[in-house]
Amino acid sequence: MMPIIETKNLSKWYGNVLGLSDVTLQIDSGVTGILGPNGAGKSTFLRLITGQLKPNIGTVKIKGKKVRNNYSLFSIIGFCPEQDCFYDELTGWQFLASLLKLHNFSNDEAEQKAQKALEIVELSDDKNRVIRSYSRGMRQRLKFAQAIAHDPEIMILDEPLNGLDPLGRRKIIRLIKTYQREGKTIIVSSHVLPEIEAMTKKIILIHQGKIFAQGNIHYIRDLIDTHPHIISIKCSHSRELASKFIHEDYVLKVHFDIASNSLLVETNNRDKFFSQLPSVLIENNIKVDEITSPDDNLQAVFDYLIGK
């Protein structure tokens, strides 16, 4: 069966800078996550497969047809760009309806579809406000709405969860899963593993313009889980908390910072640590101000994996 999206030896340079190198992929329907740190080449890949960029080497095909300058394909593609860019003078409603009219929908159809998309992303109440006055999260939702408004078969979403609050994120994730069940092809990029994990099990890891790994989430999870994680906890009784964990075999190191009243824990089993932490905190009545995972960024994980 013909893959929905197919790239062969896809490479792109920006002058002397490598954007993407020798990417050969086949993407079928369902959700595919493109995961990589900032600057890894995710956006370059997505712009190449939507024909916005010309590859230096290689080919891109969607449903067996070349993409660049093949405008008819865009009636089945929805693209959500990463950049926060809009026609700020328009209202959310005008923005959506105008873009839908560029799909050659009649005025009535365009308005119906715009209304539906605005309802989906919960912007109906603010549809008559100019985009300039929208918050970051609202702008992100509007960007998402323009990608789904024409009900495309293929959705290409570049960091769609950026700038959204946890509720907004959950809502978009749920939507993406719904589209998956409807048989659509969705490509989502992100630099946050848990975000991708929440949407799909099919992941492509991209780093320094190259496909670093590709496959099921569990395989990639296994790769990542072998990497020790550092977790920082700011709390009222850091020494007491440390004493509760120090004997655990999955805790490798504990480091105090008295000045900031925080504690750094290094663990080789992040999931287990996080599953035990709430009960320890409750039992010992320890108040937590902040939990961060300074090491829990993809760049660190990639550096670790490549070093390996």
Which residues sit at the interface with another protein, rule CB under 8 A?
14, 43, 50-54, 69, 71-75, 77, 79, 81-83, 85-87, 89-90, 94, 98-99, 101-104, 146
Residue 200: half-sphere exposure toward Cβ, Cα within 13 Å: 26
Q: Which is nearer to another protein, 27 or 49 (CB)?
A: 49
Q: Which is nearer to another protein, 104 or 285 (CB)?
A: 104
Q: Which is nearer to another protein, 68 or 177 (CB)?
A: 68
Q: Which is nearer to another protein, 134 or 273 (CB)?
A: 134
Q: Which is nearer to another protein, 78 or 168 (CB)?
A: 78
CA distance 25 to 79: 19
CB of 193 to another protein, least distance (A): 22
Q: Which is nearer to another protein, 187 or 203 (CB)?
A: 187
Residues in CB range of 103: below 8 A, 6 or more apart: 75, 110, 150
Residue 264 region by backbone torsions, left for phi larger than 0, else alpha for psi between -120 and 50, else beta: beta
